[in-house]
Structure 1
Amino acid sequence: MAGVDSLPNPQAEWLAQSGLESRVLFPADAAYATRIDSYWCNSAKLRPSCIVQPHSAYEVSRAVTALAKTNQPFAVRAGGHTNWAGSNNIADGVTIDLGLLNSTQYDDTNQTAHLGPGGKWKDVYAELERHGRTVSGGREAEVGVGGFLLGGGNTFYTSRYGWACDNVVAYEIVLADGSIITAEAGGRHTDLFRALKGGGNNFGIVTRFTMRTIPSGPIWGGLALHPLDAVPAGVDALVDFTTNNASDPYTNMQFVVGHQPRFGGGVGITIANNMLAVEKPPLLQKSLALPEIMNNYKTTTLQEVLTYSSLPPNYYNIWFTLTIKNDASIVRKAAALHNEMAKELQAGIPDQDFTSHVSFQPVPRLFVQQSHAANSSGNVLGLEQNTYDAILIQASASVRTAELEAWARPKVCALVDEVRTFASSIEGGAVPWVYLNYAHSGQEVLQSYGPENVGRIREAALKYDPEGVFQRLCPGGFKISAVKD
């Protein structure tokens, strides 16, 4: 590392003056290249002027204070899985990389787990399994702790324990002025505690999440592949499951229509689990009766199940999302539009090196009831507005080059817009809620939470970051300052 006087950019000088010189990586450093390459999505692999890797909340505080004092743009990276450019990285500014804040510590005295924001869920589960415990966390191995929890977090246990954020009991957070506080239910910062449950990175940098844990053990589950002509029956099974989820809150499922070369092209996929290891639970009987190409359902571990929904790294990934009423006609429309889009992608990508899908995930009213049961302080997701059981849709395409991403993005966007238009023709068909963790940067996420929750987020941001540091200098994420009154 060069001396302070010879550092290659002023941002690094200010960080060095804060005692962080040994934590800074520059573009010429091998470790810098390794960290950029470790982003899941190619779209996120921007080139910051430097990366700072704090080892503690105190060092995060030093970094934020230095950057805020000198008005330097910065990004915050936790696990590095958010896919859109600028969400967790920044060109020419400073990326605060929380990858070394990745510990998982179990506290047996109150059966809670302290999680670092840079941890990945596969590692969280592996550590907690040593104690016979687990948490309501991510459903994919490589997803990071921080971004997932701040976006709400749909889990294997949402129908039993509410959203992942509803299971957070305390947040250690570094504010823009460098102070380190704890927001928890019944504490001094209950307004911030609630706003962090779905409010994203509008307030500061969370350096530790404390979550309640639950007993771990074997689960039953896996995935089944279906021919495309089984999709209509698969849609009916999905709708039936969503309607009846309350009868078995330990069973979860999602239905996917996709173009997946590893599975031979066009295919329907059911991903389903019972978290108590009940084999072939009655709630899944319609799904289990679908025609199959293959299935790998078995009694297994959470670690193995995590791999079933994984998408490969090093693509340009396009994600859009919307929420619809639990109505088979809307789901069938979305599936048909996906298959049309997949044909366009096949025609325009000669080497066929792409994937696409629409994922349909139940969001019954049950989820709201379980959120309230798990989290008396509430969250800011705004799902109480929904008067119907709903389906969350993630529409996605993954391609190899930036040029193909620019070509395919309008097609995925158009699919979502057409589904929304069709759903709007049905009473209650278009649900306003937008899930932060699946949203494209251009979607109006915070607005979808409703005016009351927008007000809560705005008030907390103004109170805890009165100078607007995280609005002005940290452009990644969905900003409350962009929401019009």
Structure 2
Amino acid sequence: MDQLLSDLSQALGGRIYLPDDDKYNESRNSYFSAQERGIKPACVLLPQTSGEVATAVSLLAEANKRAGIGSFKFAVRSGGHACFAGSANTAGGITIDLRGLSSVNVAEDSTTVTAGSGVSWGELYRTLEPLGLAVAGGRHSQVGVGGLTLGGGMSHFSGQVGLVCDTVLEYEVVLPSGDVIRITEADIEHADLFRALRGGSNNFGIVTRFIFRAFRQGRLWAGMLLHPLETRTEQLQAFYDFCATPSYDPHASLMQTFGLSAERGTGCVNSIVYTKAETEPAVYKPFTAMQPVYMNTLRELSLLELTREQDALNENGLCQVMISTTYYLDLPLLTRTVDLYQASCDSVRNYAGIVWSLTFHPIVPSTISKSTFLQSAIPTLSSPPKPIIIAQITGTWKDGKDTAAVEVTAVQLISDIDAAAKEEGLQTGYVYLNYAHSGQKVFGEGERLQQLRDVSKRYDPDGIFQHCVPGGFKLF
């Protein structure tokens, strides 16, 4: 490791930071979860250009080939929002922090936006908002562009344009060889890699830049409704009807959360976003008319304001768990999922500072029809497509000694939900990577996994990103 650090320092000068450097500690302390903050790499590399990333990858690959593949581990991070330990950090290895790749450039005709992989969605929206533009992107301003996009990426605009990855027109990628290439969907030579990067995570190289399709966007009508948990029957019926309607409004976005908080008790929150500045659209009437309501923040606001508001609901630096599954829309299964979630609350309610929630995210037919990625990633997809639900379990708590127990509860809960979906014949076989937990088979076990493995073998024959980058979700 000493020789590798010396080589990196000689080649990259002031971009390498050791444990006694302030920037090393700033990088560690900027992760979303306590689990990731607790990991201590040998050094943090903060590149400012794709060329510097390429130099680092070349040196890391060469060192591993000399010493044996897997001898020197490295991690790649964008926003650092994935929460399980080791997802974007590595103990005793090299962490490549891409946040220096933060440029945002708008094309002269305003139809595309070029963004560095390390920029946050909030920074990107802040640039676009004065121009009356937007891209399909993250729902929290702190989340990094790179991680969300390479995982697929749900957005408030999914009903209109598909997932975030479906709106990428070009990737700039540092390959395991150290070569830097730019690829588009029309690039016949690299068409396989372009497809693989849609939802393929960090398995093929380091993406340093994206070009996104942009569109005109004004203010939104959005906010939250908080109701008592006793309204759950009405809530689930309203949610089911919202998702099941054949005349789904693609401007309408909704997340429904059932939550337990050690400080605030229980409740049901509907996070509503209408991507036009239209007050109280009819599609949300079943939710806005429901009583009693404890909180109503619905109003006209900008996309940047909305994503910052979402950030304020999530305290950084706590212990975190996130895990999810998907199934086809079914009201009895939604009800059973909530029953299972409520039963699990007894296992976690006494942990200090616990916030324990179940969130339903709809993947509606209009999203699927516009998503080349989802059409390839969902093995059981029907034609015409049926609504799919992401059931996401999220937990935050204060004391690291409780981490193992909380994670066991979360994994068991998702296993129970999967069993219920299987019993009803409603499993999709798809796991949404951005809400997945370590150990989940996000690439499945069938044709798609084999296709991704073939791409990996072509561009990374030595397995650098399979065996030297332990974070994320691997193909082998």
Is 2:13 the partner of 1:25? Answer: no
> CA offset at residue 308 of structure 1?
4.2
Is 2:343 the partner of 1:340? Answer: yes
Distance in 2, matches of 1:379 and 1:178, equals 30
Give CA-to-partner distance per residue, 1:442-482, whole Å, 9 cap, x none: 111111xx62322321121111111111011111111112x
Q: Which amino acid aligns with 1:467?
A: D
* Secondary structure of the structure 1 residue equivalent to 2:137: coil
Distance in 2, matches of 1:380 and 1:401, equals 41
> CA offset at residue 245 of structure 1?
6.8
Is 2:123 the partner of 1:123? Answer: yes
Q: How does 1:237-276 map to 2 (within 5 A)?
A: 237-244=238-245, 246-261=247-262, 264-276=264-276
Mapped contact 1:198–1:380 kept (Cα < 8 A): no
Distance in 2, matches of 1:463 and 1:159, equals 34
Q: How does 1:360-375 map to 2 (within 5 A)?
A: 360-372=360-372
* Secondary structure of the structure 2 residue equivalent to 1:361: strand
Residue matched to 1:474: 469
RMSD (CA atoms): 1.6
Distance in 2, matches of 1:384 and 1:241, equals 25
Distance in 1, matches of 2:169 and 2:374, equals 12
Distance in 2, matches of 1:130 and 1:61, equals 34
Distance in 1, matches of 2:127 and 2:148, equals 19
Q: How does 1:400-411 map to 2 (within 5 A)?
A: 400-411=398-409
Distance in 1, matches of 2:183 and 2:150, equals 13
Mapped contact 1:11–1:94 kept (Cα < 8 A): no
Distance in 2, matches of 1:425 and 1:463, equals 39
Give CA-to-partner distance per residue, 1:8-64, whole Å, 9 cap, x none: 9333112023x2121000001122111100111111121000011111000000000
> CA offset at residue 85 of structure 1?
0.9
Mapped contact 1:133–1:214 kept (Cα < 8 A): yes
Distance in 1, matches of 2:110 and 2:309, equals 32
Instruction: Report the CA distance shift for 1:380/1:194 in structure 2 as closer, same or farther (over 3 A).
Output: farther
* Secondary structure of the structure 2 residue equivalent to 1:421: helix
Residue matched to 1:5: none
Distance in 2, matches of 1:261 and 1:220, equals 30
Q: Which amino acid aligns with 1:479?
A: K
Give CA-to-partner distance per residue, 1:392-411, whole Å, 9 cap, x none: 01101111122111121111
Is 2:57 the partner of 1:59? Answer: no
Distance in 2, matches of 1:219 and 1:316, equals 32
* Secondary structure of the structure 1 residue equivalent to 2:26: helix
Q: How does 1:29-178 map to 2 (within 5 A)?
A: 29-45=21-37, 46-71=39-64, 72-109=72-109, 111-178=111-178
Pick aligned residue for 2:457 from 454, 459, 462: 462
Distance in 1, matches of 2:376 and 2:87, equals 20
Mapped contact 1:246–1:366 kept (Cα < 8 A): no
Mapped contact 2:129–2:304 kept (Cα < 8 A): no
Instruction: Report the CA distance shift for 1:246/1:307 in structure 2 as closer, same or farther (over 3 A).
Output: farther
Q: Which amino acid aligns with 2:409?
A: K
Distance in 2, matches of 1:113 and 1:379, equals 23
Worse overlay, 242-251 or 296-305 = 242-251
Worse overlay, 302-311 or 89-98 = 302-311
Equivalenced residues, count: 461
Distance in 2, matches of 1:108 and 1:254, equals 35
Is 2:330 the partner of 1:330? Answer: no
> CA offset at residue 384 of structure 1?
6.2
Distance in 2, matches of 1:87 and 1:345, equals 24
Distance in 2, matches of 1:235 and 1:226, equals 12
Q: Which amino acid aligns with 2:430?
A: W
Q: Which amino acid aligns with 1:164?
A: V
> CA offset at residue 110 of structure 1?
5.8
> CA offset at residue 257 of structure 1?
0.2
> CA offset at residue 381 of structure 1?
5.2
Q: Which amino acid aligns with 1:334?
A: T
* Secondary structure of the structure 1 residue equivalent to 2:172: strand
Unaligned runs of 5+ in 1: 1-7, 373-377
Q: Which amino acid aligns with 2:426?
A: G
Give CA-to-partner distance per residue, 1:130-186, whole Å, 9 cap, x none: 222110000011111000000000000111100000000000000011100011111
Distance in 2, matches of 1:160 and 1:252, equals 10
Is 2:295 the partner of 1:294? Answer: yes
Residue matched to 1:432: 429
* Secondary structure of the structure 2 residue equivalent to 1:446: coil
**How high is the sequence identity, in percent, across the aligned residues?**
31
Worse overlay, 219-228 or 101-110 = 101-110
Mapped contact 1:197–1:379 kept (Cα < 8 A): no
TM-score (norm 1): 0.92
Distance in 2, matches of 1:401 and 1:219, equals 38
* Secondary structure of the structure 2 residue equivalent to 1:475: coil
Distance in 2, matches of 1:156 and 1:333, equals 27
Give CA-to-partner distance per residue, 1:341-363, whole Å, 9 cap, x none: 2233223x2xx412110100111
Unaligned runs of 5+ in 2: 65-71
Mapped contact 1:64–1:178 kept (Cα < 8 A): yes
Distance in 2, matches of 1:289 and 1:429, equals 31
* Secondary structure of the structure 2 residue equivalent to 1:35: helix
Residue matched to 1:211: 212
> CA offset at residue 246 of structure 1?
4.6
Q: Which amino acid aligns with 1:41?
A: S
Distance in 1, matches of 2:286 and 2:374, equals 34
Residue matched to 1:3: none
Q: Which amino acid aligns with 1:250?
A: H
Distance in 2, matches of 1:380 and 1:67, equals 36
Mapped contact 2:152–2:163 kept (Cα < 8 A): yes
> CA offset at residue 300 of structure 1?
1.1
Residue matched to 1:224: 225
* Secondary structure of the structure 2 residue equivalent to 1:192: helix
TM-score (norm 2): 0.94
